[in-house]
Amino acid sequence: MSLNAIQIILVIVVAFLAGIEGILDEFEFHQPLVACTLIGLVTGQLGPCIILGGSLQMIALGWANIGAAVAPDAALASVASAIILVLGGQGKDGINAAIALAVPLAIAGLLLTTIVRTLATAIVHIMDGAAAKGNFRAIDFWQIVAICMQGVRIAIPAGLILAIGADPVKALLEQMPAWLTDGLGIGGGMVVAVGYAMVINMMATREMWPFFALGFVLATISQLTLIALGTIGIALALIYLTLSKSGASTGAVANAGDPVGDIIDQY
């Protein structure tokens, strides 16, 4: 589908905000679910973009900056794949191809991140000079410049994809054979599973496993909606907190304050 001028401007604004939030982490615009949803909202393709964002979010759960290792660029992957999905005009049928393109785009985004952070290093020295002179206005100015560079890092690729137009993107997606799109969909699903497994590996403790198991079992019941599952989760959290306070007040067992751990120890 083709976008009008207002939609193009709004998409670039969303891309700019996603790039900024990749550093600020305040409003989470760079998260795939948020970025894709916003692009779907301004382009009129809300449903497919939400599904795309949810799928990418499961992949991005396993991405984290650890030490000097920089994670793939979730902001660029989200924005670029959402734009490609919208321009392709295939709706939900184009989600698999968009997910498959998102991961290489996220890796390619590391190059842009490296360039911007290298330039930001020079800006830090300029700010040091301004601080030595007591020029707080200059410090604020260069701080804003450095942050805006992060937004431009995503806005420029988004603008380039929009400049290509809907027809080339749609033609490219339509030329992909069924075996390739199906394979990309399977591969994307495997990446999602790996990302979620990495998160579980970081979070998992013996106290958490019963809740993981219970959640997966409840999720198989088709009659339960997301609201119902959320209500069950809140109820379990309140029960856990109540038991924790009760255990902390009695101090009768070694793991007081950890009711699930107490039950496991006594089993």
Q: How confident is the model at residue 203 (pLDDT cuts 50, 70, 90)?
A: low
Domain count, the chain: 2
Q: What percent of the chain has pLDDT over 70?
A: 76
What integer is the mean pLDDT of 29-47? Answer: 91
Comparison of pLDDT for 149 and 201, the residue scoring more: 149
Find all residues with CB under 8 Å of 158, minimum gap 6, and list them: 11, 12, 15, 79, 80, 83
- Assess whether 135 and 153 both reside in one domain: yes
What integer is the mean pLDDT of 131-153? Answer: 91
Q: What is the pLDDT of residues 69-107, one digit of tens each?
A: 566 788 888 898 899 888 887 777 778 778 777 777 777
Q: How confident is the model at residue 9 (pLDDT cuts 50, 70, 90)?
A: very high
- The number of helices, as runs of H, and strands, as runs of E, in the chain is 11, 0
Q: What is the pLDDT of residues 10-23, one digit of tens each?
A: 999 999 999 898 88
- Assess whether 172 and 42 both reside in one domain: yes
What integer is the mean pLDDT of 176-184? Answer: 67
- Assess whether 151 and 193 both reside in one domain: yes
Give residue 258's domain range: 209-266
- Assess whether 156 and 235 both reside in one domain: no
What integer is the mean pLDDT of 1-18? Answer: 90
- Assess whether 111 and 34 both reside in one domain: yes
**Token pair of 152, please?**
């431009």
Find all residues with CB under 8 Å of 178, minimum gap 6, and list them: none
Whether the predicted model's global pTM rises above the 0.85 cut: no
Examine the fold and report which residue of 148, 174, 203 is the final residue of a domain before the chain moves on. 203
